[in-house]
């Protein structure tokens, strides 16, 4: 089956899987050179709406494939390969049967499966992850269908796993619609998601039109603070046929290299997302009886994507300017991380602002060599905001 057939009608899942696949591919190659063991945990495994007999369109199938591929490549290159361990959790009994059947087919990866809700499984996951020596590097994927089942207090031990990274699918559109619900039980469920009611104060000031972003930013900052992740970032996944965000992927790492690799995966996948949305929108037009001379790509209007990117660029630039104003001297890697927290903002954008600021004289650069004009990370390069501006 081609990618088009596997994901037609659920292109948002394609984008999620592309980001995951591209990220894990490089993650496993990098981590596998240093750590002797990698543990991948899927807290909401599925399969869910999968069409592939080999589960090539599931997060667990993609993870196993990428981890094994990296391990084999590392073994071939250096003769040293990491041990691979996976923990797949699924609450639904039928889905679990299929998941378990898949897991049983591997003898070269240690795969534990469990048919239970995440709420009752965190201690078991922790035991699995920490139960080997030396410590493995863990990657935890949280991919729910709504906003329940991963209350902050429940997943706290998973956020604290070290060394480790976390990727959370935040169902933004769904959450935004219900977050102000007066229903007491719904209100409580959001407080559990955020770990307290404080998020309401943060959101109270934000105009309704900016709520969608504000909710996910607040969530990302909250989970990053709990797990002491220095480099949180967010990728946006748009609805295939409508001009609005569908969900966001919140990525949490303690390593600048991790952030760099995640942003590369995000950037590549944004281009694929626009292509997939073009096809999905063309399909919708054709289903309504339209006949077109132009291809899906030619018919696709990129304005929504561009407006959204401009909005995030504006937010990132404002956040960086505000840090410069308050802190005066900001190491380049810190400036980079502040900006790359935002979706659709990449290193080239940060360098472009710095070029503009230095040309205007509003920022000066410190620590660059005589022939260097562009700051780099980890070379003690600093941005300096003239005091009094
Ligand atoms: C969005 S789907 C997962 C898709 C999968 N990660 C992928 O990308 O291919 C969510 C899955 O989590 C399961 N699930 C829902 N609530 C759960 C819970 N509290 N604990 C564990 N699994 C749950 C559902 O049955 C469903 O299979």
**Domain harbouring 89, CATH code:** 3.40.50.150
Q: Evaluate if residue 280 carries a pLDDT over 70.
A: yes
Site to substitute for ligand 1 among 114, 144, 237, most atoms within 8 A of C-beta: 144
**Distance (Å, whole) CA 351 – CA 169:** 29
Same domain, 332 and 256: no
Same domain, 38 and 144: yes
121 within 8 A of 20, measured Cβ to Cβ:
no
Q: Evaluate if residue 284 carries a pLDDT over 90.
A: no
172 within 8 A of 216, measured Cβ to Cβ:
yes
- φ and ψ of 84, to 5 deg: -110, 130
Does residue 290 fall inside a structural domain?
no
Please report the pLDDT score of residue 204 as a whole number. Answer: 87
**Distance (Å, whole) CA 309 – CA 319:** 15
**Distance (Å, whole) CA 168 – CA 346:** 20
Atom of ligand 1 nearest to the CA of 145: 1
Same domain, 211 and 153: yes
CA end-to-end span of the chain: 59
Same domain, 184 and 41: yes
Site to substitute for ligand 1 among 45, 58, 59, most atoms within 8 A of C-beta: 45
| CA of 195 relative to ligand 1 center, distance in Å | 21
Site to substitute for ligand 1 among 65, 90, 189, most atoms within 8 A of C-beta: 90
Please report the pLDDT score of residue 2 as a whole number. Answer: 67
Does residue 181 fall inside a structural domain?
yes
Q: Evaluate if residue 389 carries a pLDDT over 70.
A: no
Does residue 65 fall inside a structural domain?
yes
Protein residue with its CA nearest to atom 20 in ligand 1: 117
Same domain, 235 and 136: yes
Q: Evaluate if residue 97 carries a pLDDT over 80.
A: yes
| CA of 114 relative to ligand 1 center, distance in Å | 12
Same domain, 309 and 275: no
**Distance (Å, whole) CA 362 – CA 294:** 47
Sequence-ordered alpha helix ranges (H) in 195-302: 198-204, 211-227, 256-287, 296-299
Please report the pLDDT score of residue 387 as a whole number. Answer: 63
Residue 260: pLDDT band (50, 70, 90) is very high
Domains identified in the chain, total number: 2
Protein residue with its CA nearest to atom 6 in ligand 1: 45
Structure tokens given for 126: 């922790």
234 within 8 A of 216, measured Cβ to Cβ:
yes
Same domain, 38 and 132: yes
Residue 267: pLDDT band (50, 70, 90) is very high
Please report the pLDDT score of residue 292 as a whole number. Answer: 67
Residues β-bridged to residue 37:
83
Same domain, 352 and 234: no
| CA of 373 relative to ligand 1 center, distance in Å | 48
Please report the pLDDT score of residue 207 as a whole number. Answer: 87
Give the end of a domain, one of 238, 265, 280: 280
3-state secondary structure of 289: coil
Protein residue with its CA nearest to atom 27 in ligand 1: 46
Q: Evaluate if residue 361 carries a pLDDT over 70.
A: yes
235 within 8 A of 343, measured Cβ to Cβ:
yes
**Average pLDDT taken over every residue of the chain:** 94
Give the end of a domain, one of 230, 247, 280: 280
Does residue 299 fall inside a structural domain?
no
Q: What is the pLDDT of residues 194-233, one digit of tens each?
A: 999 999 988 888 888 788 899 999 999 999 999 999 999 9
- φ and ψ of 245, to 5 deg: -70, 145
Same domain, 272 and 374: no
DSSP type of residue 127: H
Does residue 314 fall inside a structural domain?
yes
Structure tokens given for 341: 């927290």
Give the end of a domain, one of 280, 295, 326: 280
Peptide bond into 134 cis (omega under 30): yes
Residue 1: pLDDT band (50, 70, 90) is low
**Distance (Å, whole) CA 313 – CA 287:** 36
Same domain, 187 and 324: no
Nearest to 92 by CA among 114, 125, 59: 114
Residue 283: pLDDT band (50, 70, 90) is confident
Same domain, 124 and 237: yes
Environment class of residue 332 by beta-carbon count within 10 Å: exposed (0-12), middle (13-18) or buried (19+)? buried
**Distance (Å, whole) CA 234 – CA 185:** 28
Please report the pLDDT score of residue 388 as a whole number. Answer: 56
Does residue 294 fall inside a structural domain?
no
Site to substitute for ligand 1 among 48, 51, 139, most atoms within 8 A of C-beta: 48
| Residues within 6 Å of ligand 1 by CB | 44-46, 48, 58-59, 89-92, 95, 117-119, 143-145, 149
Domain that holds residue 322: 304-384
381 within 8 A of 375, measured Cβ to Cβ:
yes
Does residue 298 fall inside a structural domain?
no
Higher-confidence residue of 282 and 194: namely 194
285 within 8 A of 16, measured Cβ to Cβ:
no
17 within 8 A of 62, measured Cβ to Cβ:
yes
Does residue 320 fall inside a structural domain?
yes
**Distance (Å, whole) CA 29 – CA 48:** 28
Q: What is the pLDDT of residues 147-189, one digit of tens each?
A: 999 999 999 999 999 999 999 999 999 998 899 899 999 999 9
Environment class of residue 197 by beta-carbon count within 10 Å: exposed (0-12), middle (13-18) or buried (19+)? exposed
Same domain, 61 and 171: yes
């Amino acid at each position: 089956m081609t990618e088009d057939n596997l994901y037609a009608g659920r292109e948002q899942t394609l984008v999620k899987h592309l980001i995951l696949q591209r990220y894990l591919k490089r993650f496993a190659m990098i981590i596998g050179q240093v750590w002797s063991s990698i543990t991948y945990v899927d807290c909401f495994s599925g399969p869910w709406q999968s069409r592939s007999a080999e589960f090539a369109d599931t997060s667990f199938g993609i993870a196993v494939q990428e981890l094994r591929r990296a391990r084999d490549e590392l073994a071939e290159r250096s003769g040293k390969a990491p041990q691979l361990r996976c923990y797949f959790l699924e609450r639904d009994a039928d889905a679990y049967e299929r998941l378990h059947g898949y897991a049983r087919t591997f003898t070269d990866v240690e795969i534990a499966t469990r048919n239970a809700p995440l709420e009752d499984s965190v201690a078991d996951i922790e035991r699995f992850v920490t139960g080997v020596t030396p410590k493995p590097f863990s990657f935890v994927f949280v991919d729910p269908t709504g906003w329940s089942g991963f209350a902050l207090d429940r997943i706290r031990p998973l956020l604290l796993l070290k060394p480790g990274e976390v990727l959370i699918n935040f169902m933004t559109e769904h959450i935004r619609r219900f977050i102000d619900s007066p229903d007491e039980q719904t209100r409580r469920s959001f407080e559990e998601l955020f770990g307290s009611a404080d998020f309401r104060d943060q959101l109270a000031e934000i105009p309704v039109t900016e709520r969608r972003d504000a909710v996910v930013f607040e969530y990302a900052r909250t989970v990053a603070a709990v797990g002491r992740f220095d480099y949180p970032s967010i990728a946006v996944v748009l609805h295939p046929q409508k001009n609005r965000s569908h969900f966001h992927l919140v990525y949490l790492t303690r390593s600048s290299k991790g952030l760099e690799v995640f942003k590369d995966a995000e950037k590549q996948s944004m281009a694929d997302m626009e292509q997939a949305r073009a096809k999905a929108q063309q399909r919708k037009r054709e289903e309504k009886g339209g006949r077109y001379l132009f291809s899906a790509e030619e018919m696709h209007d990129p304005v929504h994507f561009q407006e959204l990117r401009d909005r995030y660029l504006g937010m990132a630039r404002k956040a960086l300017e505000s840090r410069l104003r308050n802190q005066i001297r900001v190491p380049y890697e810190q400036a980079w991380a502040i900006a790359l927290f935002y979706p659709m903002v990449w290193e080239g954008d940060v360098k472009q602002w710095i070029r503009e600021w230095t040309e205007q004289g509003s920022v000066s650069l410190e620590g660059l060599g005589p022939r260097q004009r562009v700051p780099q990370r980890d070379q003690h390069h600093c941005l300096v905001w003239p005091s009094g501006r």
